[in-house]
Amino acid sequence: GAVVSQHPSRVICKSGTSVKIECRSLDFQATTMFWYRQFPKQSLMLMATSNEGSKATYEQGVEKDKFLINHASLTLSTLTVTSAHPEDSSFYICSAMGAMNTEAFFGQGTRLTVV
């Protein structure tokens, strides 16, 4: 299957700082990328959907000014957690889907800890 690389895998940051997470499709063009937040006890919440060159569509309750998503190219999307707080600590996962839209491929996730 296709490969999606997510970086970093782990990051620790101080409260009030911003953190950028990258999601790259390595061997296909990702027309659509999805960002998720995984809470304890495995629930996987869709945060936003982004199409290349367009503004992301955020799910209800997700603050778009806090979780900035950029999908400037067909191989890269970024999620920036701005002014991070301890409650933002979580596991963030991206996935990417190509133009044929038959399957999404997932990154390995980023464990964010805000101290």
Which residues are at the interface with another protein (CB under 8 A)? Answer: 1, 6, 34, 36, 42-44, 46, 49, 93, 95, 97, 101-109
CB of 15 to another protein, least distance (A): 26
Pair 106, 10: CB distance under 8 Å: no
CB of 14 to another protein, least distance (A): 25
CB of 83 to another protein, least distance (A): 27
Nearer to another protein, 15 or 27 (CB): 27
Nearer to another protein, 16 or 59 (CB): 59
Nearer to another protein, 17 or 39 (CB): 39
Q: What span, in angstroms and rounded, lies between the C-alpha atoms of 30 and 77?
A: 9
Of the candidates 52, 58, 112, 59, the one whose C-alpha atom is nearest the C-alpha of residue 87 is 112
The two counts, helices (H) then strands (E), for the chain are 0, 11
CB of 66 to another protein, least distance (A): 21
Burial class (CB in 10 A: 0-12, 13-18, 19+), 107: buried
